[in-house]
Chains A and B, each alone.
Chain A
Amino acid sequence: MTLPAFDNPTLTHVAAYIGAAVAMGFGAIGAATGEGFTASKASEAIARNREHSGDIIKNMLVGQAISESASIFSLVVAILLLFMEIPDPGMVKAASLLGAGLCMGFGAIGSGVGAGVPAGRSCLAIARQPAISGRITTNMLIGTAVCQTPAIFAMVVALILLFKPTAGVPAFPTAAALIGAGLSTGLAAVGSGYGGGMAAGASCEGVARQPENATAVTTTMLVGQAVAQTPSVFGLLISFILMFRTFPESSALSASVGLFSAGLCMGLGGIGPGIGNGMTAEGAVRWVARRITYAGDLMRIMLVGQAVSQSTAIYAMVVSLALIFVV
């Protein structure tokens, strides 16, 4: 057995193919799970309220279409990786393409699962309060759209990595930095996407339970989701630094591993706070719907709790910044 020639175009294409596989393979997990959840809740909703099955099915299909968008992003990135012309093949481009695939693949998981939750819960909500199905669907659309933000961040980083000119850039440590950039936003998006979905799910339930409090519920949901997305914003920040900072050429292993680890640290560190903040927001939104008079206190406690739970994402960001600028 002989190995194929290991020149620059081959290396770049290998990276692009692996990247495409990762992007679409991982990207399919989230949306499929989320849509399944939506359909299961829609079945339950129809079983409870047969007369309004038309509204429920319409709502289910709209919700599923939005959960699907994360995996459509993955599809776009995978197709670009497979068929785009690669202008300057080489080690850095290979790393950049692999990073793009990793980023979009991981980044689509959280948003896909997350967007399925409000879609499902809103079907149940329509079964409970068919009279305001329009209001519930609007609330679901806003919630699921905000859930997509981490996936949009991942797609932005993936597209920048795909089209970034790399000619004449020293191979190390830039190559490692670009893979790190992909991992940072990609992994950090997992928690934030799912967390935002939990908050949005609770708000759909809340709107159905107390339609007169719908505005307060939607506002609390948006603020809670926004804070739950902070870890993925930090991931985006680290990715931008890793992508756009010029690193001096160095063949030392430690420099490359340091930059790669910076991305990995922020990515993994963002998963937990994203989910945790989502849980906090879910609880707050649920109880704002039931006890509107305490809305101010609930919002404040939510923010304080989220800030504490988010401190771990800040630790991860501090370590990442130290890895990039200090070590």
Chain B
Amino acid sequence: MDRLGEIHQLLIALPGYTVTINLEVLVMTGVVVLLALIFGFAAGRKTGLLPGPFQIIGELLVSQLYGLTEEALGKRYAKIYAPMICALFIFLLISNWLGILPHLEEPTRDLNTPLGLGIMGFVIAHYVGIKEKGFKVYIKSYFEPVFFLMPLNVIGELAKIVSISFRLFGNIMGGAIIILVVSYLTFNILLPPFLNAFFGLFVGTIQAFVFTMLTVVYISVQLK
């Protein structure tokens, strides 16, 4: 029970301020990247007309996500952003699934990961918006419908980062806390595997998909 909310941090004191590094998140993100690389290697190593199991999974993921991106962004932008969207989904999927393995933790359980990815999506969306519409039209969209609503429009845009990142973080961390508490209450008998399957595999998949789709949708809203 003492592990609830425990974080291992590396504090580096610099003159003026302290740099805080969450060690576990760094290591686990590395594990996720490594697993993604292994998957990519296994999927792309021996490609052929008669695909192996990894090639099938890889092709399925990429073609589905490419299709969804193309539907939302159109052909031109899908070509640029679909690889990023596929990478985002695969990273999040492996991240959210990592917690079902003992001694490993989801990097998404720490707010820094979802927040970083959320800010990334936000910056990309607004970059695309400025590039597509031109700076003047882009700025003008904040002053609609009436000019004095500008501050609220800006807050509304920033609230998107809060909502997209806290949704993922709350779900993954919530699942982890519920698994921890229920395992403690039931002395690790019977229930934890089912809870891991539900929160780790099922909710993890859905939330990875929702995060990816919302990133696509935020970009597509800026395009129109």
Residues of A at under 8 Å CB distance from B?
76, 80, 142, 145-146, 149, 152-153, 155-156, 159-160, 163, 219, 222-223, 226-227, 229-230, 233-234, 236-237, 295-296, 299-300, 303-304, 307, 310-311, 314-315, 317-318
Contact = CB atoms under 8 A, between A and B. Distances in A.
A26 B170 CA distance: 23
Interface residues of B, number: 36
Given A80-B181, A299-B72, A303-B221, 18 more contacts: A142-B206, A149-B167, A149-B170, A153-B170, A153-B174, A156-B177, A160-B177, A222-B206, A223-B214, A227-B214, A233-B162, A233-B170, A234-B162, A234-B163, A236-B166, A299-B217, A314-B152, A314-B155
Nearest to A79: B185
B171 interface: yes
B80 interface: no
A230 B213 contact: no
Interface in B62-93: 68, 71-72
Contacts of B224: 300
B217 A229 contact: no
A107 to B, nearest CB: 11
Residues of B contacting A: mostly: helix
A314 B178 contact: no
Given A153-B170, A300-B224, A311 B156 contact: yes
27 contacts: A145-B202, A146-B206, A149-B171, A152-B171, A152-B175, A156-B170, A156-B173, A156-B178, A160-B4, A163-B4, A219-B68, A222-B210, A222-B213, A223-B214, A226-B213, A226-B214, A227-B163, A230-B159, A233-B162, A295-B71, A296-B71, A299-B217, A300-B220, A300-B221, A304-B221, A314-B152, A318-B155
B85 to A, nearest CB: 13
A114 to B, nearest CB: 16
A101 to B, nearest CB: 16
B174 A156 contact: yes
Contacts of A229: 167
Contacts of A146: 206, 210
